């Protein structure tokens, strides 16, 4: 396991109507995080636009882009200038009629086009009120991955993936030292008073549990602010659905392998979170809490069944 310390940066940001302006803002925030010392940085899920999956609208497939494409081209310039690794969550157009929710991992040391080290396609796709992702995204077909980057072994999982211990475990078993969870999650305003606090607590607890169970660092990065899902395409505003929209709860955080919070953002403000992490702590934690050693891999066959009657 690598013993080189690294500095994680998470970009908690709000998104406006204009995708081009969001991309410019993201690039500026990444550069700012790098100049604060971060060399391993992650943006929120689908940062190029307001969260458009609040409704089913065929016109919004125009937001999708190829990888490499316009966003990786814009961001790779910052990656090269600042000599960093960046996780960027994008709406990928893979082929006509085939789209994914994809994280591109850009690395200044990667020699491919736009410095793309690799990609991860979101595996678990939700379908809930105001989260109609199955309309837009095909489930990932690349499996869970740990990529070797200039900043060590990096694993990326996306939003709905964060609720599945199997995803974090497999990614960790493949060598990831840091798990990033770019996210777009928030409250239905009508539910916030009754359910808001426990919903956020469950989200935070689940990802801290991934850190503890696997002995890895976790970076969970969310968007912030109220969004109606308004998007400008070719100069025309496509308004979101009637109703209250979503209030994204922010609360981005970085946790160490013991589950301790190293940095945390508020529920309401944009933020750049910075934390130094040392992969040696993962080994020390795993020595004292040897969950990987004591796993009964001979007894877990049922995990691949939908349900055990």
Per-residue pLDDT 10s for the chain (309 aa) are: 445 889 999 999 999 999 999 999 999 999 999 999 999 999 999 999 999 999 999 999 999 999 999 999 999 999 999 999 999 999 999 999 999 999 999 999 999 899 999 999 999 999 999 999 999 999 999 999 999 999 999 999 999 999 999 999 999 999 999 999 999 999 998 999 999 999 999 999 999 999 999 999 999 999 999 999 999 999 999 999 887 799 999 999 999 999 999 999 999 999 999 999 999 999 999 999 999 999 999 999 999 999 998
- Where in the sequence is the domain holding 115, given as residue range(s)? 6-304
Q: For residue 62, what are its two tokens? A: 């125009």
SS3 239: coil
Q: How many domains does the chain have?
A: 1
Tally of CB atoms within 10 A around 156: 29
Within a domain: residue 210? yes
Within a domain: residue 1? no
Within a domain: residue 309? no
Cα(206)–Cα(127) distance, integer angstroms: 20
Within a domain: residue 137? yes
Within a domain: residue 169? yes
Within a domain: residue 40? yes
Q: Is 233 exposed, middle or buried (0-12, 13-18, 19+ CB in 10 A)?
A: middle
Are 223 and 246 in contact by the 8 Å Cβ rule? The answer is no
- What crossing angle do the helices spanning 165-173 and 189-214 adopt, rounded to 10°? 30
Active site residues: 45, 122, 159
Tally of CB atoms within 10 A around 288: 8
CA distances from 183 to 83, 109, 167, 175 (A): 25, 26, 15, 22
Within a domain: residue 289? yes
Cα(132)–Cα(160) distance, integer angstroms: 12
Q: φ, ψ for residue 276 (rounded to 5)?
A: -80, 135
Cα(69)–Cα(113) distance, integer angstroms: 9
CATH of residue 147: 3.60.110.10
For the chain, what is the total number of helices (H) and then of strands (E)?
Answer: 5, 19
Within a domain: residue 23? yes
């Amino acid at each position: 396991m690598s013993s080189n310390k690294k500095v994680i940066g998470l970009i908690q940001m709000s998104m406006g109507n204009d995708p081009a302006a969001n991309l410019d803002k993201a690039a500026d925030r990444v550069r700012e995080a790098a100049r604060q010392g971060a060399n391993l940085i992650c943006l929120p899920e689908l940062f190029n636009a307001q969260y458009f999956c609040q409704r089913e609208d065929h016109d919004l497939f125009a937001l999708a882009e190829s990888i490499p494409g316009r966003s990786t081209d814009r961001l790779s310039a910052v990656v090269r200038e600042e000599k960093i690794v960046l996780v960027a969550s994008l709406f990928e157009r893979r082929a006509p009629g085939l789209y994914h929710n994809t994280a591109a991992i850009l690395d200044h040391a990667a020699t491919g086009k736009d410095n793309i080290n690799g990609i991860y396609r979101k595996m678990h796709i939700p379908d809930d009120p105001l989260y109609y992702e199955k309309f837009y995204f095909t489930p990932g077909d690349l499996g869970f991955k740990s990529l070797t980057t200039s900043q060590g072994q990096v694993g990326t999982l996306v939003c709905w993936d964060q609720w599945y211990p199997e995803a974090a475990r497999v990614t960790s078993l493949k060598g990831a030292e840091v798990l990033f969870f770019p996210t777009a999650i928030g409250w239905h305003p009508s539910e916030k008073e009754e359910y808001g606090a426990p919903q956020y607590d469950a989200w935070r607890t689940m990802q801290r549990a991934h850190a503890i169970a696997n002995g890895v660092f976790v970076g969970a990065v969310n968007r912030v602010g109220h969004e109606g899902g308004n998007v400008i395409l070719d100069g025309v505003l496509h308004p979101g659905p009637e109703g209250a929209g979503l209030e994204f709860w922010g609360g981005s955080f970085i946790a160490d392998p013991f589950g301790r919070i190293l940095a945390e953002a508020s529920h309401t403000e944009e933020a750049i979170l910075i934390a130094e992490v040392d992969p040696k702590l993962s080994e020390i934690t795993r020595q004292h809490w040897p969950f990987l050693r004591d796993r009964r891999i001979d007894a877990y066959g049922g995990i691949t069944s939908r349900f055990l009657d």
